[in-house]
Structure 1
């Protein structure tokens, strides 16, 4: 049977070698991959169950513990210790350093700086007068003398340079040109011809001894072997992928079968016991025992609250009687005249109490 998954791409023509390799490779891959896929699916299910039931609650507990042990103490330390301490130190530094420094700058350093600036302006004015009236004429005189001496030395230097240039041309340049033209150039041409011949010989030697055998080995041995290995590798890859998908289907069917078996062996009997036995028993216990006990407890609580209220009222009345016997009746507060009319003369929205419209 053909185990390859159909695809939408165009099918390339395949040789007999591909067809001969495909079926055994896919059968072996399926037999090897099915146990691995079933073990992998079992590990995935176990990992999800472990993550949902153990790791996630444990992680949340560790996160809460880490916050309680590390984060909250540091937050409390920062909020209730370091921030007030920093505020106090900032105020103290302002009082002890900033305010004295500002006072020193404003009332000591600024007047001293103004005085030093005035003194510096005076010194600069004196130096400017010295430069303009004394140093500048002396400098002009020195420059005139140096210009004359420079002209004399320039004339002497030009003569000496011309003599040295003539001697250098006929003692160095002319012999060097002759040596290059009649000695070095022919020797260089001969050496270049010899090196070119040696290079051509080495090129053909290397090509015949190494390049042509390597090209033949690649073309007639390595390329066919590589094509066979490529076909084999592609078939193994496709077989493993197909076997992995088939093993997934098999693992899913086995998992559903085990889940249904567990449901009919354990879950359905437990559900039936819960619905037909435990629920009626629970309702009977609730109606026969728990509800009367709760009503009795509420009655007892109500009676207790009423008794406590009556006792509190009795104690309050007894305390008022004792205070009345010891200190007498409390003095009544005097009535204060109200601005609003009382009784029938009370102001309402439907009647008027002004002097002009009063009945």
Structure 2
């Protein structure tokens, strides 16, 4: 190929590009024109028709139903509820329940709360304080008496039982124990040891070292 002529190469490249791009551009332009025609003559009129149908068959009836049926019916129902329920209940609360409640509370306060408060303030609380003080004083005095009685009982038991037992233990039992240990237990223990030693010698003499 002759590469020395740039104009020839450019012409060939343009011819090849035109051959490749031209069908694509024709198809694209045809598709765009078809879509425009489809939108202009089919989709847009169909959308306008659907919007008109929805507006006149759905929105307008719903608006009419809201304005001329639901709102008047709701107002009528609220008027009936207010007339038959709310107003009677308000009147009953204002003119019956509230006065009766106030009267009942006045009677309860007069016959129960005020007497009980007076009884507690003038009788029960002072009596309770006096009883508590008396019990505390009696408890303290009883503690003192109990400690004194304990000391007396301890003194009596020591002088009646403890002191004689201590004297018997110190004067009689201790010397007797010393005498028994010196003159009975030690000789008996020595005799027992002698008997055991003799028996061991006899066993060794009779049986040898088998024992």
User: Which TM-score bucket, shorter chain as reference?
Assistant: 0.5 to 0.7
Distance 1:160 1:238 in 2: 97
Distance 2:141 2:157 in 1: 24
Counterpart selection for 1:232 from 127, 138, 151: 127
1:251 and 2:146 aligned: yes
SS in 1 for 2:128: helix
Query: Which string of whole-angstrom CA distances, capped at 9 and with x for unpartnered residues, describes residues 284-338 of structure 1?
Result: 22222222222222223333334444556xx58xxxxxxxxxxxxxxxxxxxxxx
Residue correspondences, number? 160
Distance 1:311 1:193 in 2: 131
1:178 and 2:75 aligned: no
Query: Which string of whole-angstrom CA distances, capped at 9 and with x for unpartnered residues, describes residues 145-179 of structure 1?
Result: xxxxxx9xxx8997876524433433465222134
Shift of the alpha carbon at 1:180? 3.6
CA 1:193–1:288 in structure 2 vs 1: closer, same or farther (change >3 Å)?
Answer: closer
Distance 2:146 2:178 in 1: 43
Distance 2:185 2:82 in 1: 122
* Unaligned 5+ runs, structure 2: 1-42
Counterpart selection for 2:188 from 285, 293, 303: 293
Shift of the alpha carbon at 1:197? 3.0
Tell me the TM-score normalised to structure 2 length. 0.59
CA 1:219–1:309 in structure 2 vs 1: closer, same or farther (change >3 Å)?
Answer: closer
Structure 1 residues 5-16: aligned runs within 5 Å: none
Shift of the alpha carbon at 1:266? 1.8
In structure 1, what is the equivalent of residue 100 of structure 2?
Answer: 205
Structure 1 residues 35-46: aligned runs within 5 Å: none
Structure 1 residues 235-314: aligned runs within 5 Å: 235-309=130-204
Larger-Rg structure: 2
SS in 1 for 2:132: helix
* Unaligned 5+ runs, structure 1: 1-150, 317-359
Give the root-mean-square deviation of aligned CA atoms: 3.4
CA 1:168–1:309 in structure 2 vs 1: closer, same or farther (change >3 Å)?
Answer: same
Structure 1 residues 310-325: aligned runs within 5 Å: none
The structure carrying a bigger helix percent of its residues is 2
Tell me the TM-score normalised to structure 1 length. 0.37
Query: Which string of whole-angstrom CA distances, capped at 9 and with x for unpartnered residues, describes residues 42-65 of structure 1?
Result: xxxxxxxxxxxxxxxxxxxxxxxx
CA 1:306–1:185 in structure 2 vs 1: closer, same or farther (change >3 Å)?
Answer: closer
CA 1:158–1:286 in structure 2 vs 1: closer, same or farther (change >3 Å)?
Answer: same
Structure 1 residues 133-144: aligned runs within 5 Å: none
1:222 and 2:116 aligned: yes
Structure having greater relative contact order (Cα 8 Å, sep ≥ 6): 1
Shift of the alpha carbon at 1:282? 2.4
CA 1:303–1:187 in structure 2 vs 1: closer, same or farther (change >3 Å)?
Answer: closer
Distance 2:134 2:53 in 1: 95
Query: Which string of whole-angstrom CA distances, capped at 9 and with x for unpartnered residues, describes residues 44-87 of structure 1?
Result: xxxxxxxxxxxxxxxxxxxxxxxxxxxxxxxxxxxxxxxxxxxx
Shift of the alpha carbon at 1:229? 0.6
Shift of the alpha carbon at 1:232? 1.4
